[in-house]
Amino acid sequence: MPLTVIILVYNEEKNIERCLKSIHGWVRDIFVVDSYSTDRTLAIVEKYTDKIYQREFESFANKFNWALTYLPVKTNWIMRLDADEIVIDPEYFFVELKAKLEKDSNVAGCYVNQRFYFLNHWIRHGGYPRKVLRIWRTGSAHFENRLLDEKMHINGIIDYLDIDIADIRQNGVSYWFNKHVQYARLEAIEADRLNKCECVYRDGLDKISYKNKQKYYKAPIYIRPFIYFIYRLFYLKGYKDGIIGVFYHFLHGFVYREMVDFNIHKNKLRNLLK
């Protein structure tokens, strides 16, 4: 279909081939923006596309805004896919997407469902489906300059499609810890910014997400991760995914949130001592 997919990569040799296989032959163009990978990422990418560009990494938003500005996109629609994601059932996904875009000429962007896989197990409960904005009309979007949890702004109407992509990272639990130590430091900075600025909502779903984050950060520090973990485990029925599901929500809903709170606390103490 007349769609361009943009993928940002850096040392993704364990994930990128599965990602590319899920879209190859279904879309017109695949653009890959690398940040000077040192593993086999580019050798794998070259089997599926020759549209490879290099951009030094500063932040995800900076890199993607560069891509939206400088890549020679020739289609009317763009889709973002991460290197550790795949399209679930490509035939159904792209047939439904094509029908939607042809039917609703006033739509400028589309949410889709995002599944999470952990230790090769689909986490069906505790938050699925997570709606993510991944498809937009060319020239209608830009990313807000954030350190983490990048936010896209769309000029126009945003709709929702009940089609799925899946996050299936193959790097293991140790990689998860190393990555989330960095994420926690960045999210602590973003949490401070969240409490100080006025948010511009792109739609009702975005407003709900923002308000929920504000409520969360008003709860007592170090206690709120436990409350959030219990909420995901029981109210959202995360326990239904068994021991793997409980472990997943423990890591994401409790351990990671405690890491963020530790960094928030550390930043406040540092500011007081200045």
Amino acid in position 147? L
Q: pLDDT tens digits, residue range 190-227?
A: 888 776 665 555 555 666 787 888 899 999 999 999 99
Residue 199: the pLDDT is 58
pLDDT score, position 206: 67
d(CA 192, CA 270): 13
pLDDT at residue 182 greater than cutoff 60: yes
Where along the chain do its domains lie? 4-167, 173-273
Measured CA to CA, the distance from residue 184 to residue 188 in angstroms comes to 6
The model's pLDDT over 243-272, given as tens digits with 9 standing for 90+, comes to 999 999 999 999 999 999 999 999 999 989
- The whole-model pTM stands at 0.91
* Cα 160 to Cα 139: distance, rounded to the nearest angstrom: 19
* CATH number for the domain formed by residue range(s) 4-167: 3.90.550.10
